[in-house]
Amino acid sequence: MSNKTNKNHRRKFLQKVGVGAAGALLIGNALFARDEARFKQESLSLGKEWDKTFKKDSAVTHKKVTFHNRYGITLAADLYLPKNLAKDSKLPAIAISGPFGAVKEQSSGLYAQTLAKNGFIALAFDPSYTGESSGTPRYVASPDINTEDFSAAVDFLSVYPNVDANKIGIVGICGFGGFAINAAANDPRIKATLASTMYDMSRVNANGYFDKENSKQARNKKRKELAEQRIKDYKAGSYTLAGGVVDPLPSDAPEFVKDYYAYYKTNRGYHKRSLNSNSGWNLTASLPFLNMPILTYSDEIETAVLLIHGEKAHSRYFSEDAFKKLQGSNKELFIVKNASHTDLYDQVDIIPFAKITEFFKQYLG
């Protein structure tokens, strides 16, 4: 039955029960609009096997779930629960994503499983357009939508039966550390935020690494190249991929590129759905970051924020500068001695999980 036919049927029914033609039209249109606004979650095909880059912990229960953001994208996630969770219990919960270009089977899942073992309900999710989550075209990044993904995860956790909706935090790793802080600035339901080995994706795209391309001329050159790429993609009817972590690894590669290779391109962290492990984002995915800075209002965050970064990480300056802007006594920057950027992805003897657990228990407890 067409939408027009549906509307006519509603109007005739309302007239029959005593509502005038004008009133019937208004009510019918309102009902129709309500039906149009109702979200129908997409059915996703989720893998059933344990395909993580880390070992399953017998002290934790794991299950696949889906939820949706306000743009109508259905996100896939792994929900980690403490073993033998009482049916009527209410626990604090944490939503986790990152690194940028990774999937929930990698670093974010490890963080989630560890936090669940330490008494939290933890949700590791694939961002929009990536992994097992929906969204087309594939492999798109967005400062707005990727920030929204965290708030959508909070929506899901807020109504989950075993979650205390007043005790929800988030964790962002690498590029999603910046998105996590951005989400905390806009969503007061987020009571505590951890940004681990953080990147500011707007800054690195607009200014280059270490701000070496921070000029109008350099940005306009990028914009021109990306605009030309848009035409190429439009003509081709497909999107050119930027490529993941460089492979083979050049002998003169910077140390941090070697670190990325050691994680994404080896058995340590490789995953078949990870963009960094494979063919990467759409080449034009960096476009919005040239024009839409995140962290603009991070100085207005009233809830707790913990930034953790490696002492030897090439990206350390992102966390140090982000911390300078944060206000209040419930903000902290914690530097892990001798740690690199990727050490905080999966090295459980280096990641300060005791510190992280203490932070969330303090502010979600």
- Report the pLDDT averaged over residues 225-238: 98
Decide if pLDDT at 30 tops 70: no
pLDDT level of residue 18 (50, 70, 90 thresholds): low
pLDDT digits (tens, 9 = 90+) for 59-87: 999 999 999 999 999 999 999 999 999 98
- For residue 87, give every residue at least 6 positions away whose Cβ sits within 8 Å of its Cβ, in sequence order, or none: 162
Determine the Cα–Cα distance for residues 304 and 327; give it in Å rounded to an integer: 10
pLDDT of residue 39: 73
pLDDT level of residue 2 (50, 70, 90 thresholds): low
SS3 239: coil
pLDDT digits (tens, 9 = 90+) for 173-190: 999 999 999 999 999 999
The answer to whether the predicted template modeling score (pTM) of the entire model surpasses 0.85 is yes
Token pair for 155: 């929506």
- Report the pLDDT averaged over residues 255-276: 97
pLDDT of residue 42: 86
Determine the Cα–Cα distance for residues 106 and 131; give it in Å rounded to an integer: 11
Cα 172–chain centre separation: 7
Share of residues in the chain with pLDDT > 70 (%): 90
pLDDT of residue 290: 95
